[in-house]
Copies of this chain bind each other. A is one copy, B any other.
Amino acid sequence: MGGPGLCCLASSGDRPVLYASGQSILIARLVVHRARDTTRLASIERSHISHFFCQVAEAALATQLKPHQEKSNFIIKTPKGTRDLSPEQMVVREKILDMVVSCFKRHGAKGLDTPAFELKEMLTEKYGEDSGLVYDLKDQGGELLSLRYDLTVPFARYLAMNKVKKMKRYHVGKVWRRESPTIAQGRYREFCQCDFDIAGQFDPMIPDAECLKIMCEILSGLQLGDFLIKVNDRRILDGIFAVCGVPESKFHAICSSVDKLDKMSWKDVRHEMVAKKGLAAEVADRIWDYVQCHGGVSLVQQMFQDPRLSQNKQALEGLGDLKLLFEYLTLFGIAEKISFDLSLARGLDYYTGVIYEAVLLQTPAHAEEEPRNVGSVAAGGRYDGLVGMFDPKGHNVPCVGLSIGVERIFSIVEQRMKTFGEKIRTTETQVFVATPQKNFLQERLKLIAELWDAGIKAELMYKNNPKLLTQLHYCENTGIPLVVIIGEQELKEGVIKLRSVANREEVAITRENLVAEIQKRLSES
Give chain A's interface residues, CB within 8 Å of chain B.
1-4, 21-22, 25-26, 29, 32-33, 70-71, 73-80, 82-87, 89-91, 93-94, 105-122, 124-125, 135-145, 147, 157-158, 160-161, 169, 174, 176, 178, 190, 198, 200, 202-203, 206-207, 209, 213, 217, 328, 331-333, 390-394, 426-429, 441-442, 445-446, 449, 452-453, 455-459, 462-464
Contacts and interface: CB of A to CB of B under 8 A. Distances in A.
A154 to B, nearest CB: 8
Nearest to A221: B455
Contacts of A89: 113
Contacts of A455: 106
A428 B109 CA distance: 8
A459 B107 contact: yes
Contact of A121 (B22, B120, B390): B22
Contact of A76 (B70, B138, B161, B178): B161
Nearest to A134: B140
B86 A112 contact: yes
16 contacts: A1-B142, A29-B121, A74-B392, A76-B122, A76-B160, A76-B391, A77-B161, A78-B118, A82-B117, A83-B115, A84-B115, A107-B452, A107-B458, A116-B147, A136-B140, A137-B147
Given A139-B4, A158-B84, A203-B463, A452 B106 contact: yes
B4 A206 contact: no
A161 B77 CA distance: 7
Given A22-B144, A202-B462, A332-B445, A139 B457 contact: no
Contacts of A161: 76-78, 84
Contact of A119 (B70, B77, B142, B441): B77
Given A79-B143, A140-B136, A108 B393 contact: no
Nearest to A174: B116
Contacts of A116: 116, 147, 174, 176, 190
Nearest to A74: B392
B76 A90 contact: no
A372 B79 CA distance: 44
B78 A33 contact: no
Given A86-B112, A111-B87, A445-B332, A394 B1 contact: no
Given A429-B108, A449-B332, A22 B137 contact: no
Given A106-B452, A136-B137, A463-B203, A115 B78 contact: yes
Contacts of A458: 106-108
Contacts of A119: 75, 77-79
A165 to B, nearest CB: 13
A85 B154 CA distance: 12
Contacts of A111: 85, 87, 90-91, 94, 426
A139 B1 CA distance: 11
B33 A394 contact: yes
Contacts of A141: 1-3
B452 A213 contact: yes
A200 B122 CA distance: 45
Contact of A138 (B2, B33, B110, B136): B136
B105 A85 contact: no
A391 B138 CA distance: 28
Contact of A457 (B93, B105, B137, B426): B105
Given A26-B124, A112-B85, A331-B449, A392 B71 contact: yes
A452 B217 contact: yes
Given A85-B112, A110-B87, A462 B22 contact: no
Could you say which of A29, A86, A202, A209 has the most chain B C-beta atoms within 10 Å of its C-beta? A86
Given A78-B118, A80-B143, 9 more contacts: A3-B141, A22-B144, A33-B394, A74-B392, A75-B119, A77-B161, A78-B161, A80-B142, A140-B178
A331 B442 contact: yes
Could you say which of A82, A83, A206, A445 has the most chain B C-beta atoms within 10 Å of its C-beta? A445
Could you say which of A74, A90, A115, A207 has the most chain B C-beta atoms within 10 Å of its C-beta? A115
A457 B217 CA distance: 13
A315 to B, nearest CB: 24
Contact of A113 (B90, B120, B203): B90
A203 B442 CA distance: 13
A76 B392 contact: yes
A108 B77 contact: no
Nearest to A430: B106
A93 B111 CA distance: 10
